[in-house]
Amino acid sequence: MTTPQEELLPTTRRALTHRIAVAQAEGRTPSLVAAVVRGGRTVWHGARTSVEGHGPDENVQYRIGSITKTFTAVLVLRLRDEGLLDLGDPLEKHLPGTGVGEATIAELLAHSGGLAAESPAPWWERTPGSLRPELADVLGERPLLYPVGRRHHYSNPGYTLLGALVEKVRDASWEEVLQREVLDPLGLERTATRPSAPHAGGWAVHPWADVMLAEPVEDLGRMAPAGQLWSTTGDLARFAVFLTRGDDKVLGAETVREMRAPAAPAEAADVADGAAYGLGLQIQSQGGRMLVGHSGSLPGFLANLTIGVEDDVAAVVLTNCTSGPLLAGVGADLVRIVAEAEPRIPEPWRPLREVESSVLELAGQWYWGTHASVLRLTPDGGVSLGPLSGQGRRSRFRAKGDGSWTGLEGYYAGESLRVVRRPDGSVSHLDLGSFVFTRQPYDESATVPGGVDPEGWRGIG
């Protein structure tokens, strides 16, 4: 239930309904259900169906396929945050004997471990998981197709390995750990490895005739961490809020921000499409808007979760057909419709409660050689540094507590920014990863590498 201030305008709601109506009709899918989240709350739900008078609501389960991978990634990040492993650890350190143990945990999360996209035949999505009881059955005789860490190649077996890693470290089944550590704390009561009423049936729609064929529902066994889950728009809307803001009961805001950052080498086609992959999350740039989330598919079902973090808008779209509407496009459109029709209203500007004079004196214009930059204080106690105008390197910096700062993004991510003072305490320059920033271009009073021409600035005589 939303308060009047949170409700969408009637014109916005109609535009959302129109978009999913077109998707259901043109995509020829038995049903399609969607939800939009804004400001941490579900503000719209819509459904279209081929069965008159039987529109699915936010509690009807659909199979969500590879969105399951994001849940598995959350479990792995929890292990890291608890200090039980490091993302740079090779898999072999924690799960020996797989034959692909040189791949790191981060590389498996980002699909850059060199593994094959699928398990050996028969097609795992349409056959019982009992046919692949061991990891060796999932990996097959040739599990590695590419050198580890060299390219992004989407891999379902890679997430089977991550699920097995969770089981080994926690000494419990992937399903048990997921229930205890993610589903219960986030209140996702309608997300499970098996369906419970009400749930949709999965269908294949004939490509050249308006007839349907029921799809089998298989337990994926070892492959479950890659695509087993069923969920609802209601639960996935809550999951979207978690992926945007974090929840200290599961993962903090800093860790979910890490999940949303690109973590894999991009293919040429990905660069052209503006797409990348983080730690269990797909990343895409559309129309100048950065979107994160994940898509999913299994025979009979398609699913999509799309989050516009900067707009604070997310969309969930679920449908029960094997092939039909392109849900990634539908989800992106739902986010765009709300973001453009009802732009996010910024928080009121408020002055800082307090600021140290030693930090305040750093604010203003600085020069790296002749490149003009400006340093600003940020409300969170850090600073930002970027070009005075136009394009160029920019980053936010988090205070380290010793008078220096660490870069959070872009070229300066992880780099140290520190203040260099003269013996009398006055500021000589800023040192940013060995780059010297001075108050004047090539300030002769500062320690500029290579020195400054003693004849100074001059024209052509």
CA 67, CA 86: separation in Å to the nearest integer?
A: 23
What CA–CA distance (Å, rounded) separates 64 from 253? 24
The structure's pTM equals 0.90
What confidence tier does 267 reach under pLDDT thresholds 50, 70, 90?
confident
Q: What's the burial of 92, exposed, middle or buried (CB within 10 Å: 0-12/13-18/19+)? A: middle
| Alpha carbons 239 and 303: distance in angstroms, whole number | 14
How does pLDDT run across 317-368, given as a tens digit for each residue? 999 999 989 999 999 999 999 999 999 888 898 898 889 999 999 999 999 9
Rounded percentage of the chain residues whose pLDDT exceeds 90: 85
The CATH class, in words, for 10-341 is alpha beta
pLDDT mean over 5-23: 92
Model confidence pLDDT, tens digit, residues 305-327: 999 999 999 999 999 999 989 99
Q: For residue 273, is pLDDT > 60?
A: yes
In DSSP terms, 284 is beta-bridged to: 275, 291
Other C-beta atoms within 10 Å of 346: how many?
6
Secondary structure (DSSP) of 217-236:
----GGGHHHH--EE-HHHH
Render pLDDT for 239-248 as a digit per residue (tens, 0 to 9): 999 999 999 9
Q: pLDDT class for 460, splitting at 50, 70, 90?
A: confident
**pLDDT at 5 > cutoff 60:** no
Mean per-residue pLDDT for 191-201? 97
Q: What does the pLDDT read at residue 3?
A: 38
Q: Give the pLDDT band (50/70/90) at residue 414.
A: very high
**What confidence tier does 272 reach under pLDDT thresholds 50, 70, 90?**
low
* Tens-digit pLDDT profile for residues 140-183: 999 999 999 999 999 999 999 999 999 999 999 999 999 999 99
Average pLDDT over residues 202-224: 96
Question: Is the pLDDT reported for residue 2 higher than 70?
Answer: no
Of 229, 201, 198, 223, which is closest to residue 213 (Cα–Cα)? Answer: 201
271 falls in which pLDDT band (50, 70, 90)?
Answer: low
| Residue, of 313 and 266, whose pLDDT is higher | 313
pLDDT of 328: 93
Q: 228: Cβ–Cβ under 8 A, 6 or more apart, which residues?
A: 68, 193, 219, 220
| Nearest alpha carbon to residue 122 among 140, 145, 96 | 140
Torsion of CA 131, 132, 138, 140, to 10 degrees: -60
Q: What is the pLDDT of residue 373?
A: 96
Which range among 3-7, 32-36, 40-44, 444-448 shows the weakest confidence by mean pLDDT?
A: 3-7
Q: What is the mean pLDDT of residues 69-83?
A: 98
Q: What is the mean pLDDT of residues 96-110?
A: 96
3-class SS at 193? coil
Region 65-87: mean pLDDT is: 98
Q: How confident is the model at residue 1 (pLDDT cuts 50, 70, 90)?
A: very low
Q: Where are the domains of the chain?
A: 10-341, 357-437
Compute the mean pLDDT over every residue in the chain, rounded to the nearest whole number: 94
